[in-house]
Amino acid sequence: MDRIVWWLFSFLTLYDFIPGLISRVFGFRVFRRGQAGQEIAITFDDGPNPEYTPRLLDLLKRHNAKATFFVVGAKAEKHPEIIKRMYDEGHSIGIHNYVHRSNWIMSPRTVKRQVQRTSDILYEITGRRPMFYRPPWGILNLFDFAQLRHYQIVLWSGMFGDWKVKTGEEKLYRRMRKQLAPGEVYVLHDCGTTFGADERAPEMMLAALSRILDDGDRMGLRYVGVGELIEITETIKADEKERRAAGGKQEGRNGRSVPKPGPMKRLVVWLWMQWEKLFHVIFRVKPIGDGDFMHYRIVRYSGKELRFDNGSVLKRGDKVLEMHFDNEKMYEVGMNAKSSVHIAIRVIREVQRALPDMAKEIKRIDKDESIKALYGVSMINRGAEGLGFETFDLPKGLFSIMTQWYLKLLMSIIHPEGGGRVRKHRDTIEPRIIAMARERALSWESGEKSAEISEAYRSKRPGLAAKE
């Protein structure tokens, strides 16, 4: 009997307690607090609620405040019109499981199913996959870090007891006011029907939040989504690292100092660029449109079958327009970027600019409609789904191993932090297939979709749009 108890205790410690401890105390693989000059992130769990969430959205709109909603999939499925409004008004949407159940009492497979089901629901409503995940009660199990590696796990720096009516509006306000500062991540609740909460508690939360938003406006704070706060934080950290580094600097195009490549790196870059030119000649890689950032070639797809959300299927032997970045331009972007986030933003924007030209090129050269998709493999894939791409895991095998080696070598060359960035983040930097079905690609032909995406980007990230 003692052995069984000891085994159970050991299992629970490994599966539940230790992962929770290292994520809460040490912040391992999670985002809890940012660094910012005037930005703060307010997040809401457990919704949407048909009574309180629309009132909350009205309040946020009056203050031009953006928030992040970690929604329960079953409730999102029941109230898609509220989710659509969140998205249309520029708020970020994350996953809070399909039902509000702790990851400690669910198997890894069940957690994965809950997350995927919620992701599918949100994609069906908004046309975009969520990037952020918060487990109920902030509780993680041992396997969450590995199987949810494509999501940014977000916890909080401030929790205030807003789910209990007995807290009271005044006490809740004072608690929130005490932590009202740039970089904080508040967690509040726009639904009181979950276990342990009071159904009318959101009424008190809304009253206290209204006062906090007024205070923040007077202090000059900006209420932003978690994604923007993460981007600002990474930029500040990159700048601080540069200021600490002494010597070996050169001035970048944007006026900031960047690390000066050593002679060995300059040689490697030169050899790489020669290979780039040879590759373009041998494999007949052509530029897209008037730009020189994106190139393409038409090839036969040779991987495993890919199923797109619109029902179409990419099969082995189908023709695809294979996308290629110009590595010389990528190197210039990397050496003038503040962080990997800025590299990703630049790349996504260049792809966005090129998509209308890709659509026109498909119509020009493909009279028999045999090109089935746009296709590429890239380590810079975060944000691609916002442009209409779908991402897939690389099939395991020699191709996957060689591709990972090649792209990590490329990243170590183009990134301002060099190979150190790849070694430090080898568990999160992962190449994936990015592909877009033909019909969706052709929808970019008029350029209207590009303008729509640009406007959505500016409305959600005004600070970054101004800096870029």
Go through 358-394 and write b for each residue having 16 or more CB atoms within 10 A of its CB, e for each that does not: bbbbbeeebeeeebbbbbbbbbbbbbbbbbbbbebeb
In order, the DSSP letters of 325-376 are E-HHHHHHHHHT-SSHHHHHHHHHHHHHHHHHHHHHHHHHH-TT--EEEEEE
Go through 308-338 and write b for each residue having 16 or more CB atoms within 10 A of its CB, e for each that does not: beeeeebeeebbbbbbbbbbbbbbbbbbbbb
Task: Say how far residue 16 (Cα) sits from the centre of its chain.
Answer: 26
Smallest CA-to-CA distance from 226 within 97, 67, 54 is with 67
Residue 189 bears catalytic tag: yes
- CA-CA distance, 405 to 78, in Å (whole number)? 45
> In this structure, which amino acid lies at residue 55?
R
Choose, from 79, 100, 189, 324, the residue flagged as catalytic.
189
* Structural element, H or E, at residue 39: strand 39-45
Residue 2 bears catalytic tag: no
With contact defined as beta carbons under 8 Å apart, do 44 and 69 qualify?
yes
- CA-CA distance, 158 to 329, in Å (whole number)? 42
Choose, from 45, 46, 190, 357, the residue flagged as catalytic.
45
Within 13 A of 143's CA, how many CA atoms are on the CB side?
A: 13
With contact defined as beta carbons under 8 Å apart, do 407 and 359 qualify?
no
Tokens of 225: 């989504």
Write out the catalytic residue numbers: 45, 189
